[in-house]
Amino acid sequence: MFLPENYPKQLSPILDAYGAHGLIPDYSAVHFFDLKDDFEALFKDHSVKFKANKRVLDIGGRSIAYLYNSKKFVVESYEPREAFQKLGSELHGDNVCYLHDLKDLDFNQYDCVLINIELLGLEGIDLNLTTLNEHFSSGLKVFAYRLRPRHKEISQVYLLGDGSVCDESLMLKRFKMLNSHIHMGLKKYEYSYMDVFDLCRDY
Amino acid sequence: MFYYSKTKSDNQSFVMDVRKRIYNQDGYFVFKNFIDAEKAESIARRWSSGRFDYEFHDRFANSEVRIGHPNYCYHRPGSPDLSYCMHMWNAPVDQELHSICLEAQSLRNLVEGRALHFGTQLHDPLILQYRLSRTLSTDTSVFPHADFLEEPRRDSMGDHAYDPRRCQMTLMLSDYGTHYKDGGFFLQNNQDKQLLLGRDVSAQIGDLVLWKYSNKHTVTGVVPMDQDLGFSRVIFPSFDKEYVDVSA
Ligand SMILES: [Fe+2]
């Protein structure tokens, strides 16, 4: 894809891959490498301790930007949106393995769990997601995040661009269930292209 | 209605195919017979005759446009050339053309993954204008450029940050080889090849061409064969609400 001169050349095949799967080269796609930087900053800021093979459980991660060209990651991803699954497989090959559901997972095997909360706003998504926190143990690093759109969204129900309809109030209701173990108030951290909520049980 | 009456999966797979063609394969997609050829020609003829009892304002530069401004007309590159620019906040001059343009906008919205009527309401972050142009001059009327590719702009209609999602549309109101020849609208495809609509791409009168806005394009070299129609078409620019809404 044609890029402005000041953009990294490696972005071109990534945007091509979005198009090849019928997805829109949207704001978070254009900022793929900035999002990768954001995630790396998040891991650093919150002292995520990775083992030799960095094992991450990724939920609704779209393109899983942080995984790009990082051979040490082993990511298991739950991404019910088929086009994003195909995109992730194309971008990351065997470094990402897609899960059919979130049942019977041993959460202790992961160094980090990342949840894109837009998934909570989609109807028809497996509701196990909202009781996932029953499985979080003390010490497990869990973060929920929200990608920032180009234009601030003011509607309560809106399109995500891949054809899915996101219901903000459904998302917030489900998100409350997902963070019901946090009694001290939820902390939000602002990164350049996403907002992050710390769901670690022991903060 | 086009979008909500069919099953979602049928629609979505069609829309995804169009996206593949625009964003990945060709850089454009032609909706054949978007309107009938006879309809397209009658619209082009009534607009080229200049008989409307409607006063268009003198040209506003893109950067000068504000909500509430009147519709305007300019003559570029020469005096026989016409561009009628019509805003969403004014009553339609031509209700038929207006309806067709709104339908085209809906189609672009589906491809760009936006709400069906995005751009047609004053609270939208991007607000549509449709522009009916008739070119008779052979001189260049649109110099080669790409939009939303962070090229420096003297006359901006908003933020020109890189946005490969954005598409532009050309509704063909005349035919290459019948009403004009040799030049017209040139578009760089995704393989970096320059194509002339109507000659290198099958795009006839009444067809709607959706194309990737950040691919280079130019309008030049038109030799009119029909002195009323020449190269006639409608394009669909959008204005950034932040720029045009002085009350915000
Ligand atoms: Fe342009």
Q: What is the ipTM of this complex?
A: 0.93
Looking only at the bridges linking them, the beta strands covering B231-235 and B126-135 are: antiparallel
Predicted structure pTM score: 0.95
Q: Report the CATH number that the domain containing residue B225 is assigned in CATH.
A: 2.60.120.620
Helices (H), B83-220: 95-112
Q: Is B164 on the interface with A (CB under 8 A)?
A: yes
Contact status of B122 with chain A (Cβ, < 8 Å): no
Q: Which residues of A touch B214 (CB under 8 A)?
A: 2
Q: Which residues pair with B185 in a beta bridge?
A: B219
Confidence (pLDDT) at A16: 98
Burial class of residue A163, CB neighbours in 10 A (0-12, 13-18, 19+):
buried
Average pLDDT value for chain A: 93
The reply to whether residue A1 touches residue B115, judged by beta carbons under 8 angstroms, is no
Condensed to tens digits (0 to 9), the pLDDT of residues A10-44 reads: 999 999 999 999 999 999 999 999 999 999 999 99
Q: What are the residues whose beta carbons fall under 8 Å from the beta carbon of B29, sequence distance 6 or more?
A: B18, B21, B22, B111, B209, B210, B211
Residue B73: count of CB within 10 angstroms of its CB: 18
Give the one of B25, B113, B146 whose C-beta lies nearest to A159's C-beta: B113
What pLDDT shows up at residue B4? 64
DSSP string, B21-44: IIIIISSEEEETTSS-HHHHHHHH
Please tell me whether residue B136 adopts helix, strand or coil conformation: coil
Number of domains in chain B: 1
Residues of chain A with pLDDT > 70: what percent? 99
pLDDT at residue B8 is higher than 70: no
| In the predicted structure, residue B1 carries a pLDDT above the cut 50 | no
Distance of CA B48 to the CA centre of its chain: 17
Provide mean pLDDT across the span B73-94. Answer: 97
In this complex, do B113 and A163 lie within 8 Å of one another by their Cβ atoms? Answer: yes
- φ, ψ (nearest 5 deg) of residue B55: -95, 115
Per-residue pLDDT band at B2 (split at 50, 70, 90)? low
Average pLDDT of the segment spanning B130-157: 94
Structurally, what CATH architecture does the domain formed by A11-198 represent? 3-Layer(aba) Sandwich (3.40)
Instruction: Locate the domains of chain A by residue range.
Output: 11-198
Please list every residue in chain A whose beta carbon sits closer than 8 Å to the beta carbon of residue B116.
Answer: none
pLDDT band with cut points at 50, 70 and 90 for residue A127 = confident
Residue B9 pLDDT greater than 60, yes or no: no
For CA atoms B202, B208, B214, B218, give the dihedral sign: positive
Q: Give the structural domain span for B210.
A: 3-244
